[in-house]
Structure 1
Amino acid sequence: MLVAGLYMNNPEKVKLVADSALSNYEWTVKELGVEYNPDAIGQEGGHSVPRYVFTKNGSGSGIVSKELEKVAKLGVKVETRTYVEHVIRDEKGAVLGLQIRKGYRFPKAGSGRVQFIRAKKGVVLCYGGFSRDVAYRTMQDPKLAANLDSTNQPGATAELWRETSRIGCAQVQNDWIQCTPWNNPKEKGMGIGWTFSQSGAAEYGLWVSTSGKRFVNELANRKVRADAIMVEHTNGFKAVAICTAANLKAFKEARPGMLEKLLEGGMMKQYKSLKDIAADWKIPADQLAKTVDEFNKAVKAKNDPLFGRYINNEQVPLEGDAWYACEMSPKVHHCMGGLVTDMQCRVLDVVDNKPVKGLYAAGESTSGVHGAVRLGSCAILDCLVNGRIAGQSAAKAL
């Protein structure tokens, strides 16, 4: 995490998240009843070895749904269609509560009824990123213009980023915004095409451009890979993820039925030969064959001399009469910067760097954990570790 983050992370925060991985995994299983796929371990970009687990439904909703069941049993009511307009600080700087709009209808500004909520112990902010807010994201990074799609839901906007700035909360690295490398341009938003590009082709197949050549370590961190695809686009090439049926065993185990969904939805195509892929994508056939042959030698040697990619023990040479391919294109995904918090997840004031009384934060709204690049599979862990700490800190407050 430190290497991928270019050492812009808070080392204490990184150590906390890493050291808390097992205990939080066990908490989700024993306390919440989350079910994970026991037969699947994946390797995300930037990781040196396979080390992440899948929920049985292959999504973070497998955790969130169990959290919602738990809070319902505890008698906690989750309010939806509730828009936070202002975080209210008193004359001494302490947070008193929130001004909200009840019954808000996104994205209609001014909709709903204004109400005030007094916080008895504290306010915990977990408002996520701003990848859908084109005006705010281009202010931070002009390259991320409106022509770039986002993986996020439409409400991933910057109102509370602006509000916490207005009330004097310290923020850093807001311009470090991550794009995914592996999304399918045929889909709007996150979609499902990325599952093949990452869990299939990146781990067990190849990424090539329509030049016929590999252009990046398929398991490098997301920024490295997204930037590499953007370079290929600048040079007039498309980026294509390729894999064979023989190398999709782990993908099928981790995401049952997904291969069929991708084919039925037209996000991916099946081919009988590598030559068919070359013809369909207008890739020089001789160059593509050479690229695959060189990679197959790397697979047999368990050593990738071109990019140093980790070769999984279950990887077999790319050959046979069942091939799959799809296009990839970067989309705006995750905001690494945000509110500055201490180890108790208390938000710091921009003037004196001291905790703002009554204000806590966790997740994508905060900085410190990821630095320049967030590694795949680490966001949910960050939210679990620091979300629990923020809640515990608020509960202990006088």
Structure 2
Amino acid sequence: MDRRTFLKASAMSATATALSVSSFAPLVDAEENTDVKFDEVFDVIVVGSGIAGTTSAITAAEHGNKVLVVDKMNIFGGTSLVSGLNFSCVGSDEQKAQGIKDSPELMAEDMRKVSDDYGDPELALTVARTTERFYHFLKDRGIVFKQFKQLGGHSVARAVWAGGGAYVIRPLHDYIQKNLSDRLTMRKRCKVDDIVFKDGRAIGLKVRENYYFNFDDPEHDDETNKTGKVKYIGARKGIVFASGGYCRDKKLLGAESDILAGTNSDANPGARSGTLKMLMKHGAQAVNLSLFRLAYPIPTEDLMWGMLINPEGKRFVNEFGNRNTIGMTILKEKKKFDGKAPLLIYDQTGADNFHDKQRFTLSMEAKNGYEGTMYKLDTLEEVAKFFEYEPKILKKAVDDYNAAIDSGVDKEFGKDFTQMNGAALKKAPFYAMRLTPKCTYTPGGVRITKEAQMINSQTGELFEGLFAAGEVTGGVHGAMRLTACSMPDCGSFGLISGDNVSAMKPIDL
């Protein structure tokens, strides 16, 4: 299935109910029902409880609104809860303490350099300009940043880190309970099925409460899971969709690129395309669905210090290349070798060169997710034995690699050895791991403006009362998302959507 077929099928497969039909909906022929009786009414409804949704909800509540957060899963936090959440920020206290000169324009340009000029550069600049506000938003609500980092792809050091997603999401949810419980309600196991419109404005949601995600058959959950009790919830001001991406949706990923259907993911099991399809049914413009972002347990920028070899003991790629090019090449190699992943090896100098020592340490401590463990071995013979390579074959691969480094020219793959900073495979001990790319982020989603408003694909106009933030959106990052730029994207548009949904004139429901 190609993208055009997917878009058409998505719109046609989602049959509109009498209570939730938009005049904007492509390929959907029905009328609005203006006689909906809501079971509950709030000022603002936020769909999703990850960093984007949580930020938007807190912002809207602190503007004085009665807010409801709904999440279909049985645990709050979405993929944010298990993500590293490195945060690229312009103007942090850490930057200022070190006298680092930075600007939103420089950060946006760093993002553009890896985007292949897909997406909207104004959205990236909006993110960069909002990072300092988001930084103080987090600190003022109890988030403590533990490390300050210079990460690959960034012109200057600008990444702060709180210790991982749990160290951001949980304090924010604790803050809600302690300070906003009178006006911010959070409801798990509440799945959104549709949007209620009146006179072209989004005024509520059709949901199912007490819904149970089908962990036994997640691929078909959206199509076959009928659990939960239907309710209609009104929104006097508007609705913010912060429902995340679709990197667990192998059917959609495979429709864009067959080989992606074989990728794994550490994302939330509910990271699928059901909500995206529903929004598209109502006319939301989807962009960049054919793009993808592969990632690794260690930073892509730190692959360069090592050597990748396939199960036959042969190099097959430039380790200093594009993350998706490397990842797709690895997936093809795995397919050739019955699913067996290639081996990544570093020497001590290579390990010392890592940009992100925190993630290196997590891998060494077996705390870096599925297939994310790295092993320290004293000799190449031990590496060969541990990973079941013929010692002579492994030694030849290493000798050839070292000889190429000594010559200064990588005739096979064009790796720039001038950037290696002394790294080769000469200085024991050695560090090695099986390397498999994962799809942990999807750049595609609904198109938004700088004000976080959704755009109607049929008219090019804005949907009244509909906003979006975070990974459910597309167009911010383009072909590649720069390391540590998902967190500022989610936070910035979480703040912006919270502000702008609050500014909507309420309607009487």
- Provide the C-alpha distance between the structure 1 equivalents of 2:325 and 2:457, rounded to a whole number of angstroms: 32
- Provide the C-alpha distance between the structure 1 equivalents of 2:425 and 2:160, rounded to a whole number of angstroms: 25
Residue 125 in 1 paired to residue 241 in 2? yes
Matches within 5 A, 1:283-302: 283-292=393-402, 294-295=404-405
Whether the 8 Å contact between 1:41 and 1:50 is mirrored in structure 2 is no
- In the TM superposition, residue 244 of structure 1 has moved relative to its aligned partner by 3.5
Aligned counterpart, 2:71: none
Aligned counterpart, 1:216: 318
- In the TM superposition, residue 21 of structure 1 has moved relative to its aligned partner by 3.1
Aligned counterpart, 2:494: 387
- In the TM superposition, residue 96 of structure 1 has moved relative to its aligned partner by 0.8
Cα pair distance change 1:260/1:136, threshold 3 Å: closer
Cα pair distance change 1:253/1:9, threshold 3 Å: closer
Cα pair distance change 1:133/1:316, threshold 3 Å: closer
Aligned counterpart, 1:307: 415
Q: Percent identity?
A: 21
Whether the 8 Å contact between 2:306 and 2:345 is mirrored in structure 1 is yes
- Provide the C-alpha distance between the structure 2 equivalents of 1:327 and 1:254, rounded to a whole number of angstroms: 16
Matches within 5 A, 1:155-234: 155-180=270-295, 182=296, 194-195=297-298, 198=300, 201-202=302-303, 204-210=305-311, 211-213=313-315, 215-218=317-320, 220-233=321-334
Matches within 5 A, 1:231-380: 231-233=332-334, 236=337, 238-245=341-348, 247-248=350-351, 258-261=363-366, 267-278=373-384, 280-282=388-390, 283-292=393-402, 294-295=404-405, 306-308=414-416, 311=419, 318-380=425-487
Aligned residues: CA RMSD: 3.1
- In the TM superposition, residue 372 of structure 1 has moved relative to its aligned partner by 1.8
- Provide the C-alpha distance between the structure 2 equivalents of 1:35 and 1:311, rounded to a whole number of angstroms: 34
- Provide the C-alpha distance between the structure 2 equivalents of 1:203 and 1:43, rounded to a whole number of angstroms: 14
**Residue type at the aligned position of 1:111:** T
- Provide the C-alpha distance between the structure 1 equivalents of 2:131 and 2:407, rounded to a whole number of angstroms: 36
**Residue type at the aligned position of 2:479:** A
TM-score by length of 1: 0.81
Aligned counterpart, 2:141: 32
**Residue type at the aligned position of 1:270:** K
**Residue type at the aligned position of 1:32:** R
Return the match for 1:41 from 136, 149, 152: 149
- Provide the C-alpha distance between the structure 1 equivalents of 2:259 and 2:308, rounded to a whole number of angstroms: 24
Aligned counterpart, 1:85: 193
Whether the 8 Å contact between 2:365 and 2:373 is mirrored in structure 1 is no
- Provide the C-alpha distance between the structure 1 equivalents of 2:405 and 2:123, rounded to a whole number of angstroms: 38
**Residue type at the aligned position of 1:340:** R
- 1:82-125 residue CA offsets vs partner (Å, 9 max, x unmatched): 100111122x2110111111111112622121111100111000
Aligned counterpart, 2:118: 8
- Provide the C-alpha distance between the structure 2 equivalents of 1:179 and 1:252, rounded to a whole number of angstroms: 20
- Structure 2: runs of 5+ lacking an equivalent: 1-110, 215-220
Cα pair distance change 1:213/1:203, threshold 3 Å: closer
- Provide the C-alpha distance between the structure 2 equivalents of 1:295 and 1:62, rounded to a whole number of angstroms: 41
The count of aligned residue pairs is 369
Whether the 8 Å contact between 1:216 and 1:225 is mirrored in structure 2 is yes
- Provide the C-alpha distance between the structure 2 equivalents of 1:111 and 1:310, rounded to a whole number of angstroms: 59
Whether the 8 Å contact between 2:347 and 2:423 is mirrored in structure 1 is no
- Provide the C-alpha distance between the structure 2 equivalents of 1:308 and 1:388, rounded to a whole number of angstroms: 41
**Residue type at the aligned position of 1:135:** K
- Provide the C-alpha distance between the structure 2 equivalents of 1:238 and 1:269, rounded to a whole number of angstroms: 15
**Residue type at the aligned position of 1:215:** V
- In the TM superposition, residue 245 of structure 1 has moved relative to its aligned partner by 4.5
SS in 2 for 1:120: strand
- Provide the C-alpha distance between the structure 1 equivalents of 2:331 and 2:172, rounded to a whole number of angstroms: 38
Whether the 8 Å contact between 2:351 and 2:431 is mirrored in structure 1 is no
Residue 111 in 1 paired to residue 227 in 2? yes
SS in 2 for 1:267: coil
Cα pair distance change 1:232/1:139, threshold 3 Å: closer
- Structure 1: runs of 5+ lacking an equivalent: 183-193, 299-304
- Provide the C-alpha distance between the structure 2 equivalents of 1:365 and 1:290, rounded to a whole number of angstroms: 46
Aligned counterpart, 2:266: 151
- In the TM superposition, residue 246 of structure 1 has moved relative to its aligned partner by 5.4
- In the TM superposition, residue 150 of structure 1 has moved relative to its aligned partner by 2.5
**Residue type at the aligned position of 2:248:** R
Aligned counterpart, 1:188: none
Cα pair distance change 1:339/1:133, threshold 3 Å: same
SS in 2 for 1:43: coil
- In the TM superposition, residue 213 of structure 1 has moved relative to its aligned partner by 3.0
- 1:242-295 residue CA offsets vs partner (Å, 9 max, x unmatched): 2244554665556756523369x9933332123443454344412312314544
- In the TM superposition, residue 14 of structure 1 has moved relative to its aligned partner by 1.5
- In the TM superposition, residue 176 of structure 1 has moved relative to its aligned partner by 1.6
TM-score by length of 2: 0.65
Whether the 8 Å contact between 1:124 and 1:362 is mirrored in structure 2 is yes
